[in-house]
Each structure stands twice: as structure tokens, then as C-alpha cells.
Amino acid sequence: VTVSKMAAPGTAGVTAAPGGQDEFSRYRSPLVFRYAGADMAFNFSDRKKFGSWRRLWLWLARGQQKLGLPITDEQIQEMESNLDNIDFKMAAEEEKRLRHDVMAHVHTFAHCCPKAAGIIHLGATSCYVGDNTDLIVLRDGFDILLVKLARVISRLSDFAEKHADLPTLGFTHYQPAQLTTVGKRCCLWIQDLCMDLRNLERARNDLRFRGVKGTTGTQASFLQLFEGDHDKVEQLDELVTEMAGFKCAYLVTGQTYSRKVDIDCLSVLSSLGASDFQICTDIRLLANLKEIEEPFEKDQIGSSAMPYKRNPMRSERCCSLARHLMALIMDPLQTAAVQWFERTLDDSANSRVIQFIVKCFLHLGLIESLPPWIPPAPSLHGEVIERHICHELPFMATENVIMAMVKAGGNRQDCHEKIRVLSQQAAAVVKQEGGDNDLIDRVRADPYFGPVHSQLDILLDPKSFIGRAPQQVARFLKEEVRPLLTPFQSKMDVKVELEL
């Protein structure tokens, strides 16, 4: 198709062959080719989807055979041998002809399984393969994501432990407050992520299989196949559920599993997105303060116009993806709200109900691989941190100076007034002249404070202002974090590639 004369500036003369010549001639989602990890991208791929459909048909046939339907071992073997022998071109042609995706794949599977053709999809409805596959993919997506999140928490825990007693300026309202430590602040991030890990595990373990339920969930077609034998219908449901790797199935469904399931899944995914957003925002703010920097490759370019720049691009990317992820929660809410009676097609027309969940998993699969503290380690600039402390610590130390003066025999009110005046003078130097905080120099120069001059270095030791932060870090990591990570220990030592 040749671009018309009304084409946007710079596009005149651009042509494209119908259907595209190669992968660069068709739209590709950046979410997949640029951001998603190979494991998560495959989990939501067509090959995984349609391969799962064929496995569901195989499991159904096995269960029906076991319960007495006339299905031969030869038919089962034929299906099993062609699970991944998917002719996608034929399936697309069949769907164009039949206008039905499931039946298109039934025909395509039957083409390579002629002996089993008559028993494929026997008694089932489209949602048998569609919804059950969605639940399989959701479960497997959670399994992938849980490991990624556990790795992030583990690496953050190592970072927190290493810097448990390193004082740093704390902020409330993004204004200098009391001191904390780098490790203690990191534990605030870890605590949120541990909540997310528990929520993800709960949502994953709450998932059930839709199972073998029929068109409106009544199992009427299967009851007919088994000539009114209710026990065999229930056994078939249990057999297929077990073969799919689920402990149990939903006891009641309409044509679909309840769309409340999608709300539950996406809620915990969005919540993790919010945690990632907040943590990476902190990293971006600390980068601006030059206290911490993301890894920077040898030939990496921060700006095409400003060669000196080192932008926190990984944290920015995490925030960007997380923001989009958090907005997706409205989609399943509205879908669930319009599921009339046994089912409407609002979910199907809405790019399939699974698609907004796909986006969440792909977002988080990338986000949990990107945080700037996993290899290589971030650059932590202790000298800058110390300089920021020195800039604010004199003001924070005034109460300590007052107490020391009182112990030395001074009057609390007189001392308070003296140091108030000196503090205002020092603040004027900082705010009006752009100078350094010279409060302590003023205290040293004032004879009134002579009784405590020899104590000032001790009174100004940053570690005397961090309270129990190091002890809190040690206890938190020991009692809450490390036990939570125990089930994932065998999967921790995996190299994380940060290509983009």
C-alpha cells in the first residue's frame, strides 16, 4: 500500500507489501519484543495457548476412555503424538472459513489425527479449552513471577544487611528529618514486596480449574454421554483437573469461570506494580541527590545531547510500566460487572478476558528483572550521603547539645535561646548566601558552650542518631524475610540479563 499525498511529513514514498515481508513490516508489541522475558513471553504465546488446548482435548479423551467411553489406545496415542504439531497457517485459514477459533483448531488437530478426529472435543464447549487454558496460563505466570520477585527480595535483603548501620538522611514530606540507615530504608521496600509475595502466593493457590462443566456449567452433555451416571461425570471432572495439575475445580460455573477470579489476580498484580513504582521512585530521587546510581554500561549513552548524563533509565522504565499496569484494574472490574446470567461476550470482544492479565504479567516479568540493585550492584556514594548528613545534622543535634549543657550545670531555657539564635544565623548562611551549615563552628566559637566543646564530636556522631535501625534490620531479615524465601532457595542463583 503506497502512502497517499496526505501522509504525515517524512513518510511519503513509504510502501509496504500486503501482510508484510518480515517481522519489521508488521506491528510488534514493544511489551513483548522489547520488554518481556523469554519465559513470560512464551507463557502467553500462541504455541503455549494452542498446545494447551490440545493437551486439554487429550486429557478429556483419556478421562472418558478410563470411564468406559469407546475411545481406543490408538486414538489416544495419535493425539499425544501431535500435541505440538500445530499447523498455524491451516488453523488461520480454518478460522477465516468457519469464523470460530476453537472449531478451527479442532479441525486442524483432527487433520493430523484422522483416527481420533471423531472424539476430539467430545461433549465439550469452547470454554472448556479457552477458560481452562487461561487458568493454566495464570497459574504458570504466577509461578514465573513468584521466583522473580523472590530473587529481588533476596538481593535487596543482601543490600540491606550490608548497609544496615550506614547512616543516611531520612525524609518526611521529602524534607530532611531524623537520620535512618540505608539498610533500614531498604527494609521498608522489602516489607512491601514481602506483602506482595504473600499476596501472589495466596492468589496463585486460590486458583481452581474450570474443569469439565459443559455449555452453561450444568454438565448436561457429559451426563448424556455417560447415560445419566452422575458419579462418572464427577469422576471425569476430577480426572481432568488432576491431569491439568490443579488440586480442585470450581464446583459451580456458568459458561466461564467467574470473572471475579480475574479481579483477584489483577488486584495483587497491580498492588505489586504500586510497590515497584514507589521503590523505583525512591531510587530516582536518590539518583538526583547523587547518593546512588544505577549500573551504567561502558558504552552506554545517557543523552544524545548531554554526554555527561546518567539517567536512572531502568527505574524510569519500571515506573512507566507499573503506572500502565495499575490502570488496568478497571478492565476486569467492568468485565465482571456485565457478565449477565451464565455469560456474555463482553469479555471476548474486550480482546479476550485474559489479555489485560497478560499485560500485567508481562509488565511485572520485566519490572522484577530490572531493579537497579540486582546485578551489577548500584553505585552507592557514601561521601555524598555523608555530606548531606553534615549539612543537616547540626540542626538535629541541637537537642543533644542542650541536654549536655544542662548536665554540665547550664540553664535549659538560657541554652535553648542561645542555640536558637545561632541556628537562625547558620540557617541564613545556608539559605541566603548558599554557604555551608556553620552552626557547630558558631557553637565552638561561643564561650557559653565551653563546657561541652570537648563533647561536640561525640554529640555529632551520625551513628548516635540512628536509634535501633541496625537491630531492626537484623531482626526483620532473620524473622520475616529469610523464612519467606526458603521455598525459592534453589532458584536464586540465576544470572539476570539487563539488555535494554
Is 275 marked active-site? no
Catalytic option among 25, 81, 303, 351: 303
List, in sequence order, every beta strand (DSSP E) within 173-288: 175-181
CB 98 within 8 A of CB 126: no
| Gap between the terminal Cα atoms of the chain | 33
Per DSSP bridges, beta strands 292-293 and 379-380 are antiparallel
DSSP classification of residue 229: -
Q: What angle do CA 198, 363, 265 make, to 5 degrees?
A: 40
The CA distance from 386 to 395, in Å, is 15
Grid cell locating 389: 548528613
Grid cell locating 106: 479442532
Is 303 marked active-site? yes
CB 132 within 8 A of CB 244: yes
The CB density around residue 322, as the number of other CB atoms within 10 Å, is 24
Q: How far is CA 384 from the centre of its chain?
A: 31
Q: What angle do CA 475, 477, 483 make, to 5 degrees?
A: 110
Place of cell 506482595: 196
CB 108 within 8 A of CB 87: yes
User: Helix axis angle, 260-288 relative to 182-206, nearest 10°?
Assistant: 170
The CA distance from 37 to 430, in Å, is 49
Nearest 10 degrees: Cα torsion 232, 234, 237, 239: -60
Question: Given CA atoms 405, 409, 415, 416 in this order, what sign does their dihedral have?
Answer: positive
DSSP SS3 for 316 = helix
CB 439 within 8 A of CB 393: no
Bridge partner list, 475: none
The CA distance from 97 to 85, in Å, is 21
The CA distance from 368 to 366, in Å, is 6
The CA distance from 89 to 32, in Å, is 22
Cis-peptide, bond into residue 376, ω within 30° of zero: yes
Place of cell 539498610: 183
- Residues with a catalytic annotation lie at 173, 303
